[in-house]
Amino acid sequence: MCWSICCLTLLLFCNAVMFLRAVELLKQSQAGFADCMILAESLDIKSLLYAFDKRLGKHPNTQLL
């Protein structure tokens, strides 16, 4: 029981951090919120994000396909 509460707390905290990063990215770009959430996760793992979306592809850490 305690283990599941700890995991849930960690999951909520990680999602909150990604949410805040996505909000900051949203302020800086023309991309939509969902795209910014994906980009935030990509930045978290230090990975280049390949995208079809032209607005998202303008971000420095993305590659437009």
- Residue 42 has a pLDDT of 92
pLDDT in tens, 23-65: 899 898 888 888 888 899 899 899 999 999 999 888 888 999 9
DSSP secondary-structure letter at 20?
A: H
- Mark residue 24 as left, alpha or beta (left: phi above 0; alpha: psi -120 to 50; beta: remaining): alpha
Reported confidence tier of residue 2, pLDDT bands at 50, 70, 90: low
- Is the confidence at residue 10, as pLDDT, over 80? no
Q: Is 64 in contact with 51 (CB distance < 8 Å)?
A: yes
- Region for residue 51 given its phi and psi (left: phi exceeds 0; alpha: psi -120 to 50; beta: otherwise): beta
